[in-house]
Amino acid sequence: MIRNSVLKAENLSKQVSSPEGSLTIVDDVSLDIAAGESVAVTGPSGAGKSTLLALLAGLDLPTRGRVLLAGEDLTKLDEDGRARLRAQRVGFVFQSFHLLPALTALENVMLPLELAGRADARLTAMQTLAGVGLQGRTGHYPRQLSGGEQQRVAIARAFVTRPAVLFADEPTGNLDTGTGRRVGELLFELNANAHTTLVLVTHDRELADRCARVVRMEGGRAL
């Protein structure tokens, strides 16, 4: 079987300066993630999980090594080039939702499509919100939505452009157990239906166990 790699990290390291000297946050990590695969990144706090996610998504640059996203070397692109590639190929879901409070649920989901110049932004956003069970909440502002509903809007916004890779950083971290489980179900359902690669950082063992692969981080290294 030919492996269709969509995300590849080669000898990735990230060092930062600290009062005690140079600190290695990510230490020589190599990963090869296939299109449509689901991968959980787990480990204790301070293990380098979120930094690894930021490097894989091109939000940060490594001290050494490189990242290939959809065949493009992120380390060879400038900031505008990386931003352009993220807009075309990447979706994000964060623990704290990151919805724009002045925009309705529909407007939040339309935003990445409008930035891409899509004429069908409203219709596609409506369909995507219906897909996450929020067709009755399109005109509501984030403050009028529960935590679970806000995260579903965030997931709809992340998926609306049909990204090659969805990065999720503790997507159920701010939710109660039942709501977190439903959000997890939604992520895997969309992952399967849209064949979007899912890379998630999580402390939730149940969520991690549902992924095709688990990468455990400890002391900056992938075990």
Which residue(s) pair with 67 in the sheet?
9
The amino acid sitting at 125 is A
Is 141:101 a contact under the CB 8 Å cutoff?
Answer: yes
Over residues 148-185, the pLDDT tens digits come to 999 999 999 998 988 999 999 998 888 888 888 888 88
Within 10 A of 180 (CB to CB), how many other CB atoms are there?
21
Greatest CA separation found in the chain? Answer: 54
Query: What is the identity of the amino acid at 201?
Result: V
Domains assigned to the chain? 5-222 (3.40.50.300)
What's the rounded Cα separation, in Å, for the pair 188 and 67? 25
What token pair was written down for 69?
Answer: 């996203």
pLDDT tier, 193 (very low <50, low <70, confident <90, very high otherwise): confident
Report the alpha-carbon distance of residue 5 to residue 23 in Å, rounded: 31
**pLDDT tens for residues 3-60?**
689 999 999 999 999 888 899 999 999 999 999 999 999 999 989 999 999 999 999 9
